[in-house]
Amino acid sequence: MALGSQPLDILGDRQSGQDVRTQNITACQSVSNIVKTSLGPVGLDKMLVDDIGDVTITNDGATILKMLDVEHPAAKVLVELAELQDREVGDGTTSVVIVAAELLKRANDLVKNKIHPTSVISGYRLAMREACKYIEEKLAIKVDKLGKDSLVNCAKTSMSSKLLSGDSDFFANLVVDAVQAVKMTNARGEIKYPIKGINILKAHGKSAKESYLLKGYALNTGRAAQGMPMKVSPARIACLDFNLQKTKMQLGVQVLVTDPRELEKIRQREADMTKERIEKILKAGANVVLTTKGIDDMALKYFVEAGAIAVRRVRKEDLRHVAKATGATAVSTFADMEGEETFDSSFLGSADEVVEERIADDDVILIKGTKTSSAVSVILRGANDFMLDEMDRALHDALCIVKRTLESNSVVAGGGAVEAALSVYLEYLATTLGSREQLAIAEFAESLLIIPKVLAVNAAKDATDLVAKLRAYHHTAQTKADKKHLSSMGLDLINGTVRNNLEAGVIEPAMSKVKILQFATEAAITILRIDDMIKLAKDESQDGQD
């Protein structure tokens, strides 16, 4: 009996070779087709309803894929790919999935034509390296030349496909101001823009245009009691991570009381312990107390008497940001090394003032003039929850893009310009190679054109015509020395023409494009390497014994 025809000794079925590859690639194609229509300034939104009926309406590639329950293992790679892009760059999640799926599709055609996957993989790798080099050397433009406008334009380009595109002028400026407000220099002297320091609060009502930027960190909760002052300044802030409630015995601790009069003493002591704790905090000089847990009504009266603001049930991450911004230390227990309970005034953070204001129907606590890093909050207004959520996602993407632009300092033209330029360049590069990678690089070059094609199709324009014009421009730019400026020609999707996107202000950080190429190629290679899939069947006999 020939070796190849032996039945598997494991419980399960095995597929190998071309079947698996085709199956994987079909799965990736279908994922890509879902997000395809949401790319670009005229992309459409998706409405996702999950198993309990929650509705999400979004245009953000990473969000769409996260919400989809993807079964197929190869398609899961694409979902992780979008999340990676979201973490690393913050925007371009849709593009990265589309490019990866297209690379796979073309690689599959090559493999069907008897080119070994390994050759395709090394060709793709080479193409990716050359492409990234070309972006950095030839296409990227330093931001210093362009000034603040370029940041606003980057933000506008990022928002162009989102809900906010109508008011993108207004929001782009808001985003740029917010990012520049949190500028800080770290220990190594690098200038960083921690986006985490920008708190986004969503409040119903009014129109999107009435969103605004607040200097200071806003907490989405009010004071714990009405008797507290509305405002304290200067503020000394204590950040706590435990209950300020009557101390109760731990579970499982039994107290045997022989004398019923002792009971009252125990109760009294329980109450006093909380009082002592609060007095320690107030003695250290705190006049604002934030805690992630609860505060007892009995405990509140001590704060009211002291004229301090206490806030309970603050979100953990809010507490961390406040602690970071004010220079406070988040305290999770009073116990010190000796087992005594102490609270040192060095744990307190400082801010110019802490006030409670009403925004829409909610009370919010604003911490203004924080000591170490400046914190800002964006208050979003909008008609309903879905809109606010989507505005939040769009702003997150735009904030990340502005941060990347500031930190990496180089931008490229958007609207398919980079992809078209790379496609022309790589196609030429492929013809100069005499090795078997030539075909793979040529296919890589073709795959990149998927971005301008999809952009044009979504805009209901003639894709074939536009992409042909676009390639002609880039070919001229790369062959004639005096036509270098044509390398930033991209699509104008509103009018259906080709224009210079640098002048039109459609720009993206160069880093975003480089990462898209790197991640998409890596994901494509990962899936392309698979040629065997073994699915194990569930072992039924185990269940009885468990």
pLDDT computed for residue 211 by the predictor: 83
* Residue of 56, 58, 93, 370 marked catalytic: 93
Distance CA 364, CA 201 (A): 10
Q: What is the pLDDT of residue 339?
A: 65
Tell me: the pLDDT tens digits for 249-287? 666 777 777 887 878 887 787 777 778 878 888 888 888
What pLDDT, on the 0 to 100 scale, is given for residue 372?
Answer: 66
Euclidean distance between CA atoms 184 and 192, whole angstroms:
5
Measured CA to CA, the distance from residue 121 to residue 439 in angstroms comes to: 11
Q: Check pLDDT > 70 for residue 422.
A: yes
Label residue 520 by pLDDT band (50, 70, 90).
Answer: very high
Is 531 an annotated catalytic residue?
no
The Cα–Cα gap between 519 and 16 comes to 26
Is residue 247 among the annotated active site residues?
Answer: no
CATH of the domain at 250: 3.50.7.10
| The total number of residues written for the chain in this structure | 546
- CA-based end-to-end distance of the chain: 38
In a domain, 226, yes or no: yes
**pLDDT for 466-475, tens place per residue?**
999 888 988 8
324 part of a folded domain: yes
pLDDT interval class at 445 (50, 70, 90): very high
Enter the tokens of residue 422: 């790379």
Q: Pick the catalytic residue: 45, 56, 58, 60? A: 60
Residue 269 lies in a domain: yes
Number of domains in the chain: 1
Residue 280 maps to a domain = yes
Q: What per-residue confidence (pLDDT) applies to 2?
A: 47
Q: How far is it, in rounded angstroms, from Cα 35 to Cα 224?
A: 45
DSSP string for residues in 142-202 = EGGGT-HHHHHHHHHHHHTTSGGGGGHHHHHHHHHHHHHHT-EE-TTS-EE--GGGEEEEE
Q: Is 482 considered catalytic here?
A: no
Q: What is the pLDDT of residues 295-304, one digit of tens each?
A: 877 778 888 8
Residue 94 resides in a domain: no
In a domain, 360, yes or no: yes
Could you count the other beta carbons within 10 Å of the beta carbon of residue 276?
12
Tell me the pLDDT tens digit for each residue of 362-420.
788 888 877 766 778 888 888 888 888 888 888 888 888 888 888 888 888 888 888 89
Domain that holds residue 292: 217-373
Residue 117 maps to a domain = no
To the query of whether residue 94 is one of the catalytic residues in this protein, the response is yes
Instruction: State mean pLDDT over 204-230.
Output: 80
- Angular region, 457: left φ>0, alpha ψ -120 to 50, beta rest: alpha
Q: Which of 389, 397, 405, 492 is catalytic?
A: 397
Q: Say whether pLDDT at 1 is over 50.
A: no
pTM of the model: 0.81
> Pick the catalytic residue: 94, 157, 292, 405?
94
Q: Is residue 256 part of a domain?
A: yes
Cα separation of 9 and 275, whole Å? 70
545 — pLDDT class (breaks 50, 70, 90): low
Percentage of the residues of the chain whose pLDDT score is greater than 70: 93
